[in-house]
Amino acid sequence: MEVTYLLILLLAGALATYFSGDKIASKVALFFGLAGFGFSIYLLNLYNAGTNLDFVGAWISQPDIHFALKVDGLSLAMVLLTTSLTPIIIFSAFGNGVKNAKAFYALILFMSFAMTGTFLASDGLLYYIFWELALIPIYFIALIWGNGDAEERKKAVVKFFIYTFAGSLFMLTAFIYLYGKTGSLLIDDLYKADLNSNEQLWIFLAFFLAYAIKIRIIPFHTWQAKVYQKAPTVGTMLLSGIMLKMGLYSVIRWQLPIAPVAAKEYLHLFIALGIAGVIYGSIVALRQKDLKKLLAYSSLAHVGLIAAGTYTLTLDGLRGAVLQMIAHGFVVVGLFFVAEIIYRRYETRNIAEMGGIRAQSPKFTSMFMILVLASVALPSTFNFVGEFTVLYSLLHINVWFAILGGTTIILGAYYMLKMFQHVMLGETNTKVFKDVTFNEGAVLVVIIAVLFFFGMYPKPITHLITPSLENIITQINRFN
């Protein structure tokens, strides 16, 4: 029952934030965001002590639908990612003068509630509802508080909404079919569904369409760059730091165990699609002149490698993918926040109009450099642990997969360091770059601390997620 209190807390926080008024909305939202993180730590302690936190309650009698939540190491890791990044993202927005702040911060908490529910749900319909609910707040955040021309922003956001909603309908169709086969949508019952190879293929593809759009697997990525560019930085953080992890998590939790025969038969194809994203994202990032778009395509490259890791169907691949999901969440939030800090002072995202920041703010430059090095998987940073493990798993599938996947490190180092050179070094911009504020510095320090701590000592996370992933691997291999 305890796990339901986390969802209630986040939903109550969204309502309390909205009704608190614009003046104190940000502080109320931060309070509930921190409370959600604190309660997640409490749940982690209960789980580590051996407490069964799963919850199954009757909800709808016909069809037979349950309000069912599953708490294991994998879901807890993703919940902790969500509830730790939520207050960081809220706090990062304190430097912006947000109009209608009560609605803005309430939507952030509501989105956190929906994403947390997605990671916990173990009934197909409940999972689908949370999945769709997470789409609503980001739609309004990007549409109302976004950047640039209103008409262009509207086109980009509507395209994103239609893409993701349409993909989700295929997933809903798959759940309806599975209910007809099993009479239940509880995940354990779906794992036991008696599906022939042809049925598994269609179920696999239906899930893939929903997840590929969310993850941005080639060629389902076309909505991404414009939305990342037009959304406010908080929206971009939510999209890249947490929301796309819903798709990656769902591949591991739902797609692979339900349709393992199809996953094994087309393993090389889907790994190749992930690696195509690595190469495409890196090459396009090299040509970007807008800082946010460069970071968006960099994210596309890293996520492609994570997706390739999940489709290896190996314990190392899944474990490396989950580690990289968490590391990527913190790194990409930090990098987009750096872009926001620069925009607050220079009012531009054009890399050519920047430069000379190092001479004016050495501390900010050092923190930015650390994030850049973490992004390119420097040893001792969190990203290195995940990327190394994924590449190791790819090596066991095909050496060329590992070589091509490794280009994300080589190309990433080139375009990220080149970007850093143009943004931070060179001649001083005519505008004065004010040093980072306490709030801005605090956000960056927390993110950097997480990246170094788990880069040096990833054992707490690997210990948490490994038993859950072993169970999923057993489920995938049940047809062997």
Asked if residues 242 and 204 have their Cβ atoms less than 8 Å apart, the reply is no
Note whether residue 212 is domain-resident.
no
Note whether residue 293 is domain-resident.
yes
What is the Cα–Cα distance from 5 to 11, expressed in whole angstroms? 10
Per-residue confidence (pLDDT) for residue 286, from 0 to 100: 85
Count the domains in the chain: 1
Note whether residue 425 is domain-resident.
yes
- The closest of 171, 270, 256 to 469, measured between CA atoms, is 256
421 C-beta neighbours (distance < 10 Å), count: 12
- Secondary structure letter of residue 434 according to DSSP: P
Backbone angles phi, psi at 244, to 5 degrees: -65, -20
Backbone angles phi, psi at 266, to 5 degrees: -110, 25
- The closest of 275, 258, 280, 141 to 210, measured between CA atoms, is 258
CA-to-CA separations, 203 to 194, 210, 246, 254, 466, in angstroms, rounded: 12, 11, 18, 10, 26
Asked if residues 259 and 190 have their Cβ atoms less than 8 Å apart, the reply is no
- The sign of the torsion formed by the CA atoms of 171, 172, 175, 180 equals negative
- Here the tokens at position 137 are 């707040």
What is the Cα–Cα distance from 304 to 233, expressed in whole angstroms? 22
- Here the tokens at position 263 are 């996953």
Backbone angles phi, psi at 461, to 5 degrees: -80, -45
Torsion of CA 292, 279, 257, 194, to 10 degrees: 120
Which residues make Cβ contacts (< 8 Å) with residue 318, sequence separation at least 6?
252, 309, 310, 312, 469, 472, 473
Asked if residues 230 and 151 have their Cβ atoms less than 8 Å apart, the reply is no
Note whether residue 341 is domain-resident.
yes
Note whether residue 88 is domain-resident.
no
Note whether residue 165 is domain-resident.
no
Q: Are strands 65-69 and 55-60 parallel, antiparallel or unpaired?
A: antiparallel
Residues of the chain with pLDDT under 70: 1, 95, 148, 221-225, 428-430, 479-480
Note whether residue 28 is domain-resident.
no
Range of the domain at 365: 267-480
What is the Cα–Cα distance from 468 to 70, expressed in whole angstroms? 11
User: pLDDT digits over 250-304, tens only?
Assistant: 999 999 999 999 889 888 998 998 898 888 888 888 888 888 889 888 888 888 8
173 C-beta neighbours (distance < 10 Å), count: 15
Note whether residue 319 is domain-resident.
yes
Cis status of the peptide bond prior to 379, with omega within 30 of 0? no
- Here the tokens at position 215 are 């993850």
pTM confidence score: 0.92
Tell me the three state secondary structure of residue 263: helix
Torsion of CA 45, 46, 50, 54, to 10 degrees: -130
Contacts of 345-350 with CB under 8 Å at 24 or more apart are 345/431, 345/432, 345/433, 345/434, 346/429, 346/431, 346/433, 349/229, 349/290, 349/291, 349/292, 350/289, 350/290, 350/291
